[in-house]
Amino acid sequence: GAGVSQSPRYKVAKRGQDVALRCDPISGHVSLFWYQQALGQGPEFLTYFQNEAQLDKSGLPSDRFFAERPEGSVSTLKIQRTQQEDSAVYLCASSPRYGSNQPQHFGDGTRLSIL
Amino acid sequence: EDKVVQSPLSLVVHEGDTVTLNCSYEVTNFRSLLWYKQEKKAPTFLFMLTSSGIEKKSGRLSSILDKKELFSILNITATQTGDSAVYLCAVNGKDAQGGSEKLVFGKGTKLTVNP
């Protein structure tokens, strides 16, 4: 596709529910990133994939957060047993290939609200 | 730990004014510094800077990097109401294993341009 596509745009869940957020990167992009952006803050890194390999998950805040990219294209970020502090915008970004020093291009994000 | 500090956090100007946004950073094994513009949705890429002293320019926007003093500035001349947005600065540093292209962001500068 022309840009990074994320769905849903908005998600409201009750505390304790599981949620799944989807990211469809720019076609052919090898690197895929997830960031979490709280209100009034800059995005914070969660995890990074190169093709299907998850090379860095140092930013995942707890073991309730899980990400996958099984075929090296679409990625899903799953949050189990959601808490109110999980409320944020979740941004996905992609870039052409590792080591190319190309900028990351972002999707519009999923705004997650936990009630 | 990599760190980015932006100033000011908020700025209100009138159309036609010139503004300078500041970004200072601490990063291990610097690779690049990036500027993004964020309105209501996705951060959109503006500039990537890797070398000191070389100005990058796009229309009324320009940016320059000082790797000795560890800062960058983003200039916007003849501001327009459409320039109103949050401007994000981010750095990419290579870790000891040479991997991960994660970005570390500042909190952003919220620019409001009044007519």
Using CA atoms, how far apart are residues B96 and B65, in angstroms rounded to an integer?
24
pLDDT at B106: 97
For B59, residues 6+ apart whose C-beta sits below 8 A from its C-beta are: none
A109–B42 CB contact, under 8 Å: yes
Q: Are strands B61-66 and B10-14 parallel, antiparallel or unpaired?
A: unpaired
Residue of B nearest to A5 (CA): B42
- Judge whether B34 is closer than 8 Å to chain A, CB to CB: yes
A89 neighbourhood in chain B, CB within 8 Å:
none
Q: How far is B16 from chain A (nearest CA, A)?
A: 26
| pLDDT tens-digit map of B77-88 | 999 999 999 999
| pLDDT tens-digit map of B44-59 | 999 999 989 899 999 9
B7 neighbourhood in chain A, CB within 8 Å:
none
Q: How far is A101 from chain B (nearest CA, A)?
A: 8
B95 versus A21: the higher-pLDDT residue is A21
